[in-house]
A and B are shown apart, each in its own frame.
Chain A
Amino acid sequence: MDVRSQVSMLFHLDKCIGCHTCSIACKNIWTDRKGAEYMWWNNVETKPGTGYPTKWEDQDIYKGGWEKKEGAGAIELKGAGKFKGLKNIFHNPHLPIMDDYYEPWTYKYSNLIESPAQDDQPTARPVSLVTGKPIDIKAGPNWDDDLSGSPDYARKDPNLENLSPAERDAMFQLEQMAFFYLPRICNHCLNPACVASCPSGAIYKRGEDGIVLINQKVCRAWRMCITACPYKKTYYNWSTGKSEKCILCYPRLEAGVAPACMHSCVGRIRYLGVMLYDADKIEEVASADEKNLVDSQLDIILDPNDPEVIEAAKANGIADSTIHSAQYSPVYKFVKEWGLALPLHPEFRTLPMLFYVPPLLPVMASLSTVKNKAQNDKLDPIAKKWDDDWLYDTSTDELWGTIDDARFPLQYMANLFSAGDTEKVSIILKKMMAVRIHRRGVTVGDLGDEKVNGALSDAGLTAEEADAIYYLTSLAKFDDRFVIPPAHREQAIEMLEDTADVKGSSGFGFTERPSRGI
């Protein structure tokens, strides 16, 4: 057992409101630079939709991730690796081009204030941030937000693959349409394809917390990582000639602060915590059969309370403080204890360490026909009345029926989170539903103990577990959501510098003379 620690993330999609605050927080801190304008280390996509860069999930186009060939035991990179890398090193044929992202732009605001008096209103023309010339804006990073341009974008979502034509059409019927948001950052995978593909050896996974980083001094712009990453989360900076990616705000983590995207999250959907895993099993897990992929990936995560694991972790040099924070990790609770979260696209075989709680809402609600007349008559004459006879029905008369006949086909969710296995998604949705039924029993009390307990036992939860899930989902405080292990950077610094050389001196002194009129 080779125990290592990984700072992993959990996004609760039921709570995401698609406000893009995370993206802006990230951009303001890290990618507001020349050559990095088009980079969205954090982005929020509308699903169904094609995402950013467009159709990133379609590996027939971009050749990202690992693939397991028929008959061969070992997995290999789909678009990079030793032979393919050498063959394509001077001409990487599957790279996304600027049009697959978008051409970043600003507006020529000076036109508005410097324009002479004239018949027409002055306009601030869009100007390309790449060429500096006026452009026609053709696309943006969230061009298909909230299902805009659905025939072009949402209908071409690669996750619709195994859905029947009837199911697909049902998803896009007027008044039947539903969507949810999928925020994405780098997954800081256990088996990162970008690291494996880099011909310069510039990309590495940090030993202490598993954050995947690109060494800017070693990167030689071969851009193999951009092809190899199936999530398209490495970006090429055309100005510096180096590739860049999400750094999980490691300078903030080292200072004990949550990453900017998580800190700023309005819906509080983001959780961060340490998980311990067995590095010996990575190869075995990454080359598992597709139907076992999710289970074996969850198996690689170890129980931080198991004395054997603790001992092995200590033997591997993992600090006590890290083990301690792993025991309180909210991610561990969601992923392992409660089994509520799944990785995004496990079939890419990179073992992503960012987990998602699938959204329940569009699944549980359905539309039913009701008579609104009696209800409307009771209302005050000046109240707003609806004349139609539809009800957005969240009733739970039939416990699990709505999950299976949801507006969002389970298959679609399964294509996203469980390599096509609808059963796994269904279990999670049942659990979430059971928690709701339980809480309704506690707070409203209109359902009856038998029904509530039946729902819980059907979903395999106890009342205590349901309360704990409810607490961490809805009431969790900052320190419950972000259990950041102390980085012990002082030890790392001591290897490089003498930290005692300022002992006894009186600090750094003034860089500017104080002016207090002395």
Chain B
Amino acid sequence: MIYRQNFNKTHQYSFRYFILFIIFTTISTFPQDNGEKIFLSVCRACHTIGQGRLVGPDLANIQNRLEEGWIIKFVKSSQKMIKSGDPLAVKTFNEYNKIIMPDQALTDAQIISVINYIKEKSPTETTSKEVKTPAFTLKNSLGFNLDEAGRDEYKLGWQYFTGEKRFENSGPPCLSCHNVVKDNLISGGLLSKDLTNAFSRLNAAGINAIISNPPFPIMRTAFENKQLTKDERYYLLAFLKQADYDSIYQHPVNYDKRFIYSGIIGLIFLLGFFGLVWYGRKKVSVKQDIFKRQLKSK
């Protein structure tokens, strides 16, 4: 029996070591293979490598400008650093219009692999100006490119945007949080950014990255397990592109003052209406004239 117990114990230990070994190797090898994948899905929404600033700064040769430890801390929680008063973090935040960089749930190793990927793709002095990031293309299931999108695609995109047509995986419609200035379109939500000029601001690549893998916490939660399909993204982009292009022809109405004035006029009208409907009501006590004559103590 004693032998048997020992035997079991030895086997248990060896099994644990085996598991640990597997985990260790996966952690250490997986991110290196996925630096490109992570960059394309997470970072590219706001950053480029060597193509100039987008929402956030150009990350070309970031490894030369910043320390690795600083980058890891910043990626994990930029706001924490800004609040703690790190001068560089504050400077960057202010420079980029105080747009908050969302906290990324990435491991140290994953961030390092992204840095390695950036390092690899950055234009060196010898390969200056050469773009190494693969050019963005988005084709729908029929094989059409975004430039080929026409009236129908735009219409579909409109319907997806407003929720007239549901997303296949039942993600929430964009309109509930975002607004697009469009004369025939009902005003959208004010929770998030106005998307009228999103296309010129973020490019097709940026928007696609954001809607396929939202970096913003609320949006990420909203679309968790409710991924947009490739076609849906295509139609939305077609819509946003057209909306951006059309935006200069729109005549958005300013309701500010009109809203207040119509409210006041409506209130007066309603009070008058109520006054007429209940004109015959009993207004005072039947003994009012008696009470008026009575003496009152001080």
Contacts and interface: CB of A to CB of B under 8 A. Distances in A.
A488 interface: no
Contacts of B280: 93
A191 to B, nearest CB: 25
A99 B288 contact: yes
B286 A61 contact: yes
Nearest to A98: B285
B3 interface: no
Interface in B93-141: none
A139 interface: yes
Given A93-B280, A95-B282, A138 B288 contact: no
Nearest to B279: A93
A94 B279 CA distance: 11
A59 B103 CA distance: 73
A362 B285 CA distance: 32
A53 B287 CA distance: 10
B294 A93 contact: no
Contacts of A152: 290
Contact of A139 (B282, B287, B296, B297): B287
Interface string A26-65: 0000000000000000000000001001110010011000
B285 A97 contact: yes
A136 interface: yes
Contacts of A54: 286-287
A99 B291 contact: yes
B278 A91 contact: yes
A99 B285 contact: yes
A100 interface: yes
Contacts of B288: 99
Interface in A61-100: 61-62, 87, 91, 93-97, 99-100
B296 to A, nearest CB: 5
B282 A138 contact: no
A55 B288 CA distance: 13
B281 interface: yes
B281 A100 contact: no
A99 B289 CA distance: 11
A158 to B, nearest CB: 11
A69 B30 CA distance: 90
Interface string B268-287: 00000000011011100111
A61 B287 contact: no
A62 B282 contact: yes
Given A136-B297, A138-B294, A99 B287 contact: yes
B287 A93 contact: no
Contacts of B296: 136
Nearest to A56: B286
B215 to A, nearest CB: 50
Nearest to A152: B290
Given A138-B291, A138-B294, A94 B281 contact: yes
Contacts of A95: 282
A93 B286 contact: no
A93 B285 contact: no
B263 to A, nearest CB: 22
A95 B295 CA distance: 27
A317 B148 CA distance: 87
Interface string A494-506: 0000000000000
Interface in A401-439: none
B198 to A, nearest CB: 47
A61 B282 contact: yes
Contacts of A99: 285, 287-288, 291
Contact of B287 (A62, A94, A100): A100
Contact of B286 (A55, A91, A149): A55
Nearest to B296: A136
Contacts of A91: 278
A99 B285 CA distance: 6
A61 B297 CA distance: 31
A55 B286 CA distance: 7
A149 B287 CA distance: 12
A65 to B, nearest CB: 16
Contacts of A87: 277
A93 B282 contact: yes
A100 B285 contact: yes
B286 to A, nearest CB: 5
Interface string A152-166: 100000000000000
Given A136-B296, A136-B297, A94 B286 contact: no
B286 A100 contact: yes
Interface string A101-112: 000000000000
Contacts of B281: 93-94
A94 B282 contact: yes
Contacts of B287: 54, 99-100, 138-139
A93 B277 CA distance: 11
Given A93-B278, A93-B282, A94-B281, 10 more contacts: A55-B286, A93-B280, A95-B282, A97-B282, A99-B285, A99-B288, A100-B285, A136-B297, A138-B287, A139-B291
10 contacts: A54-B287, A58-B286, A61-B282, A61-B286, A62-B282, A95-B282, A97-B285, A99-B285, A99-B288, A139-B290
Instruction: Report the 9 A-B pairs with minimum CB-CB distance, sorted nearest first.
Output: A93-B281, A99-B285, A55-B286, A54-B286, A94-B282, A93-B278, A152-B290, A100-B285, A138-B291
Interface of A: 50, 53-55, 58, 61-62, 87, 91, 93-97, 99-100, 136, 138-139, 149, 152
